[in-house]
Amino acid sequence: MIPTLAFGKTGHDSTRTIFGAAALWGASEEEGEQTLQLLFDRRINHIDTAASYGRSERRVGAWMPQRRDKFFLATKTGERTAEKAQAQFEKSLERLQTDHVDLLQLHNLVDEEEWAVAMAPGGVLEFAIKAREQGLTRFIGVTGHGVTVAAMHLRSLERFPFDSVLLPYSYVMMQNAAYSADFERLSAVCVQRGIAMQTIKGITLGPWNEKEHTHGTWYEPLSEQADVDRGVHWVLGRPGVFLNTSGDLTLLPKILDAADRYTSRPTDAEMDDLVAKREMTPLFV
């Protein structure tokens, strides 16, 4: 059984493996129902979606009228101004068939100029605070990609007490000394302040480059169960973090199965062997 962990100071105990609903991007109604059953079978109680994830919010929304109390529901807005974020979020609530979400996240906030707009008067943060005051969201988070994201999250936390952060975390990513140092600094702040730390890209093999795309992810993922096990178990081996599943429905059962069987973290030697065998490379440089 996949264990639960306090999601920061929200008062909610989330499964350490969170359903990354980007996997529902182009999903049919039938695939959506099959996914819901899998989540119930594995007792996953936290869903992470976004306005920009294709059909995802609509597929998740189909579950909400009868099952809203079963899930901690998170979505994201990629808009940077309050006006545009409000318009986008209103559509998200409509698609999700709910009057509120548990967590509204500022999506991929890493660009310097976009960050300045988002944090300024009339920016998306202003809207997020208003939405919380109105009961449209209970909590506010920030997400991001790339090698600068951990440092940018630290800047964001200096500006506002976000309830959660989300960023890449994998064995290969942490071999980047600068990124690793930033990640550890961010982690220390999150632990000290009780901020939930969500991780993504845990089973990344590398960029697709010229290879044929065999999965729905925008990066090439590990796909053999034994390899997925190592990637998942390495992430879960870090106390206090959550693992968000990948954006491919075919990989979801493998990730959840790996998480269900987690007992200990692979050694560095075991991870180095996987990196060499699969020729894993950094997704972000």
Whether the Cβ atoms of residue 12 and residue 67 lie closer than 8 Å to each other: no
- Which domain CATH number covers 74? 3.20.20.100
Distance in angstroms (rounded) separating the CA atoms of residues 137 and 100: 5
Residue 56: the pLDDT is 97
Contacts with 5 (C-beta within 8 Å, 6 or more apart), sequence order: 13, 14, 16, 240, 242
Rounded to 5 degrees, φ, ψ at 166 are: -140, 135
Q: Is residue 63 part of a domain?
A: yes
Question: Residue 245: which of 256, 258, 235 has the closest Cα?
Answer: 256
Q: Is residue 58 part of a domain?
A: yes
Q: Is residue 75 part of a domain?
A: yes
Distance in angstroms (rounded) separating the CA atoms of residues 85 and 76: 10
Q: Is residue 174 part of a domain?
A: yes
Residue 252: the pLDDT is 98
Residue 210: the pLDDT is 84
Distance in angstroms (rounded) separating the CA atoms of residues 105 and 143: 7
Distance in angstroms (rounded) separating the CA atoms of residues 55 and 36: 15
Q: Is residue 180 part of a domain?
A: yes
Q: What is the pLDDT of residues 134-188, one digit of tens each?
A: 999 999 999 999 999 999 999 999 999 999 999 999 999 999 999 999 999 999 9
- The segments of the chain whose pLDDT lies below 50 read none
Q: Is residue 104 part of a domain?
A: yes
Q: Is residue 17 part of a domain?
A: yes
Residue 83: the pLDDT is 98
What is the CB neighbour count within 10 angstroms for residue 245? Answer: 26
Domain of residue 132 covers 4-202
Whether the Cβ atoms of residue 190 and residue 221 lie closer than 8 Å to each other: no
Q: Is residue 46 part of a domain?
A: yes
φ/ψ bin of 106: left (φ > 0), alpha (ψ from -120 to 50), beta (otherwise) = beta
Residue 163: the pLDDT is 98
